Amino acid sequence: SKLAARAKVAGLQPEVVNVKDYEVESLASERLAVVIISTYADAKPPESAAWFCRWLDESATDFRVGAGMLQDMRYAVFGCGNQLYGDNFNTVGKAVDARISAMGARQLLPVGLGNEDSNDMEAQFDEWCHRLLAAMQSQEGLGKVYNQAPVAAAGGGEGSDDEEGGEGGGE
């Protein structure tokens, strides 16, 4: 992905993982996680990320998991949405951010809210990536750069990331 390539240039060692293929139980062992996720018009995540989002929802409110499950992890979230969705604008990105925080992780960077309707979401993502990479370089090690499908050129819309060579699209 574009973000992973930039991270490598910055001297970091990212691992890009599609959340549909990720073992969520491993999240607690990550030191740093970056989640890039879209919101569809009905305030739902893409099908490939639905299980991950459901797991976060359940785990964040489960007293057996507790608020400390992710206490050793730093994280950042970039949501891809469209302001035409009204109250549903970037609800998934905001929810993922809130759930990870509720599980004890510390936010590395405020949640990025990309707006496809602005016709400038790639520039919004680039600016967020610039701030993210600066923050990441100050951390010891890089965990995973999470990639959910489908995000076209960080656009949050239908499509693939063929030019970046990433599976399922996204950054």
55-89: per-residue pLDDT in tens? 999 999 988 876 789 999 999 999 999 999 999 99
Residue 169 lies in a domain: no
Domain assignment of residue 35, yes or no: yes
* Token reading at 85: 């969705």
Classify residue 42: in a domain, yes or no. Answer: yes
Domain housing 14: 2-164
CA dihedral for 90, 96, 98, 101, sign (positive or negative): negative
Domain contains 46 = yes
Q: Residue 57's domain is classified under what CATH number?
A: 3.40.50.360
Average pLDDT score over residue span 105-121: 94
Rounded Cα distance, 165 and 160, in Å: 9
- The count of domains in the chain is 1
Least confident of 55-59, 102-106, 151-155: 151-155
What percentage of the chain has pLDDT greater than the value 90? 50
Higher pLDDT, 152 or 70: 70
Q: What is the pLDDT of residue 2?
A: 83
Q: At what angle do helices 2-9 and 121-137 cross, to 10 degrees?
A: 30
Assigned domain for 170 exists:
no
- pTM equals 0.79
- Tell me how far apart the alpha carbons of residues 57 and 48 are, in angstroms, rounded to a whole number: 16
What pLDDT, on the 0 to 100 scale, is given for residue 137?
A: 75
In a domain, 171, yes or no: no
The pLDDT score that the predictor gives to residue 139 is 61
